[in-house]
Amino acid sequence: MVLFGPPGAGKGTQAQLLKQRLSVCHISSGDLFRHHVRHRTPLGLQASEYMNKGELVPDDVTIDIVLNAVMAVPDDDGFILDGFPRNSNQARQLEQALVGRSRNLDKVVHIDVSEPELLRRLGGRFVCRDCQAPNAVSEDEDFASKKCGQCGGELYQRDDDNPEAVKRRIEVYYEETAAVLGFYRKRGVLVDVPGDCGVDEVNKQVLAALGPGLCITAG
Ligand code: ADP
């Protein structure tokens, strides 16, 4: 499945919950890039120039790294893709790669969140250095003394969660990424989930959208 939505929609948060519940792997294009940035690989240096400005990393870099990760998933295992595809070309290339393995996407879950809510969330978002889980920190809390709610790890604010990059990421979403919704709507796999509410409520709606067939291990 693909978790789809604008920056700050809660794709990463929902992916963390779903991967435990459904025993599937989580492939986040942003996490793949941040891994390269942390290890200062040539790809990481190239990607960070785009990421810090809130722009998409070019397709010739992005598609290979994400599709390699998807193709490494054993055929009998499920996966959650988060952050990919982000434009129509990526969606077409993913489809071709999956067809080549006789696989397909069961669902594309679009978490729909209003712009004011996205801005509010991204301003208070801190990420765990260990497990990459996003954590919300309110204005009256000190992030340095707060630990990750999932694993107790140290929290930090992403370089691209500064106000200018956030503004650009949201623009890029509406300019380039939102078009992918039409691609999946035509294929009959898209489900829209309202995402302005709390994490647990969104999770309930995402599980309901996946349907009983995909939630066999849920209990
Ligand atoms: P968010 O969904 O919060 O914007 P991500 O962690 O998914 O954050 O992505 C962070 C950045 O990584 C993006 O702003 C972009 O620069 C780059 N990136 C991630 N996925 C893609 C992609 N599929 N295509 C191009 N760039 C990407």
Q: What is the pLDDT of residue 27?
A: 97
The single-letter code of the amino acid at 76 is D
Task: Say which of 34, 86, 107, 121 is annotated catalytic.
Answer: 86
In this prediction, what percent of the chain has a pLDDT beyond 90? 82
Give the H/E segment covering residue 217. none
Q: What is the CA(81)–ligand 1 centre distance, in A?
A: 12
- What is the position in ligand 1's atom list of the atom closest to the CA of 122? 3
pLDDT per position as a tens digit, 17-76: 999 899 999 999 999 999 999 999 999 999 999 999 999 999 999 999 999 999 999 999
Contact indicator for 193, 206 with CB cutoff of 8 Å: yes
Terminal-to-terminal C-alpha distance of the chain: 20
Q: Does ligand 1 have an atom closer than 6 angstroms to the CB of 86?
A: yes
> pLDDT, tens digit, for every residue of 186-219?
999 999 999 999 999 999 999 999 987 765 544 4
What are phi and psi for residue 110, nearest 5 degrees? -95, 115
pLDDT tens profile 137-181: 988 888 888 999 989 999 999 888 888 999 999 999 999 999 999
Beta bridge partners of 128: 155
pLDDT mean across residues, the chain? 93
- pLDDT band for position 118 (cuts 50, 70, 90): very high
Tell me the best of 31, 33, 43, 52 to mutate to test the pocket of ligand 1, counting ligand atoms within 8 Å of each CB and taking the most.
33
Question: What pLDDT score does 159 carry?
Answer: 86
Mutate-to-test residue for ligand 1 from 86, 89, 173, highest number of ligand atoms within 8 A of CB: 86
pLDDT per residue as tens digits for the range 59-74? 999 999 999 999 999 9
